[in-house]
Structure 1
Amino acid sequence: MSASRAPRRLTSRSRIALFAAGAAVASLTLSACGEGTASGGPSQTGFVQGKNGFDTVKKSERQPAPDLSGETITGKHLDVADYKGKVVILNVWGSWCGPCIAEAANFVKIANETKGKGVQFVGINTRDAKAQAVSFEEEHKVPYPSLFDASGKLLLRFPKGSLNPQSIPTTIAIDWDGKIAARAVGPLSEDRLRKMVAPLIAEK
């Protein structure tokens, strides 16, 4: 039998290489709903971790929120800048993400509680399909809009050194002046979400 027709058998070294490549892909996939970076790695500026586990920035040192505009999961246009003059709570989520499912009811409750206090919740749905995202919001009775960001491009717009999204879910608070004020990585309980929102409401 000629060399060109020899059976294609994997050597031990080839098996190891394929296994390593598969493990790397699996790691990236798992990190999407854990502690993987969503926008360029940890920031390197002067924010501090607060007593409730939130990263926060002094009011005088906050950076403006980036352009977060585009199509929602229901096909409407949304520009977060239009909410300047309100506290905006951004929640990065995916319908496939277990922690996102776990925290959904908490976001619905606090969004309804604070809508009359100058607070606007906005979701950023990522790595998802529109149909699944819409079904998720209908099932959980989500009362606020979500930008559709399947490829994660919006997440990459957060300026380097700011409180940027670091995993899915991540929650980011924007103050009355349209500046990034706080971040929580991972799912939030009702109590922790309320503690994130209340100090910003009080800043007015």
Structure 2
Amino acid sequence: MRPQSNSRPRTRHRVVAATALATALTVAGCSTSTGSGGAGDNAGSRVLPGTGLITAVKDRGTPLDLSGTTLDGKKFDLTGYRGKVVILNIWGSWCSACRAEADGLAAAAGADAAQGVQFVGVDTRDPQTAQPKAFVADHGIAYPNLYDPSGSLLLSFPRGALDPQFIPDTFVLDRQGRIAARALKAVSASELNRMLAPVLAEKS
């Protein structure tokens, strides 16, 4: 009978651990799958306290190439912003963490425009445009947003740059269009500024 009585604490411990893990994933971002993924190889990157990773210029690889159609039905090509620092935010209208950061991103986009910074969004895995269009209107987002209902645009990112199962993600692209900094979580305006400042300070 003693082994039977010991099984209950173990079961309770597993339940508590599973609940804690689920809570942590919810806080970190919004998931579109029960599978697991990883952020991949972080070689050449250093952690920015309270934000994410910034990558040394020599380790940034090739420029990111994204093109498609915006929520407004217009053709869009990211290469049109070469020469500018770009903030690229991946979001979905179904994602609570995306809603939490949206007002701050909209405000930052207006404030940073004078520094030559361009914001771009990628709305992913919204099956129809009505919900993301309402999201954009509700949060006063004026910058262009690519519409990516299938999530296929996320495959354009370098291997390990993001976990496609979790959003929001925010990237700072340098003036050549390469990923210079990233935060695989919701970001505040102050966190975004800490990611942006060293990239803006670069000469080219």
Query: Could you tell me the TM-score, scaled by structure 1's length?
Result: 0.78
The 1-side partners of 2:34 and 2:155 are apart by 11
The 2-side partners of 1:37 and 1:88 are apart by 31
Q: C-alpha displacement at 1:45, in angstroms?
A: 4.2
Q: SS of 2:135's equivalent?
A: helix
- Residue 135 of structure 2 is matched in structure 1 by 136
Residue 49 (str. 1) matches residue 47 (str. 2):
yes
Pick aligned residue for 1:98 from 96, 117, 124 = 96
The 2-side partners of 1:38 and 1:74 are apart by 32
The 2-side partners of 1:202 and 1:39 are apart by 36
* C-alpha spacing 1:168/1:154, structure 2 compared with 1 (3 Å): same
- Residue 58 of structure 2 is matched in structure 1 by 60
Q: SS of 1:154's equivalent?
A: helix
Query: Could you tell me the TM-score, scaled by structure 2's length?
Result: 0.78
Task: Tell me if the contact between 1:125 and 1:150 (Cα under 8 Å) persists in the aligned partners.
Answer: yes
- Residue 33 of structure 1 is matched in structure 2 by 30
* C-alpha spacing 1:181/1:35, structure 2 compared with 1 (3 Å): farther
- Residue 107 of structure 1 is matched in structure 2 by 105
- Residue 127 of structure 1 is matched in structure 2 by 125
Task: State the percentage of identical aligned residues.
Answer: 43
Task: Tell me if the contact between 1:39 and 1:156 (Cα under 8 Å) persists in the aligned partners.
Answer: no
The 2-side partners of 1:59 and 1:38 are apart by 33
Q: SS of 2:152's equivalent?
A: coil
- Residue 187 of structure 1 is matched in structure 2 by 186
- Residue 3 of structure 1 is matched in structure 2 by none
Q: Which runs of 4+ in 1 moved over 6 A?
A: 35-40
- Residue 82 of structure 2 is matched in structure 1 by 84
Extract unaligned runs of 5+ from structure 1: 1-26
Q: C-alpha displacement at 1:55, in angstroms?
A: 1.1
The 2-side partners of 1:123 and 1:195 are apart by 19
* Residues 97-146 of structure 1, C-alpha deviations (whole Å, 9 max, x = no match): 11111101110111000112111000000011211111111111101010
Bigger radius of gyration:
1
> Which amino acid in 2 is paired with 1:67?
D
Task: Tell me if the contact between 1:165 and 1:171 (Cα under 8 Å) persists in the aligned partners.
Answer: no
Tell me the matched-pair count: 175
Q: C-alpha displacement at 1:37, in angstroms?
A: 9.8
Q: CA RMSD in A?
A: 2.5
> Which amino acid in 2 is paired with 1:43?
G
Q: C-alpha displacement at 1:69, in angstroms?
A: 0.3
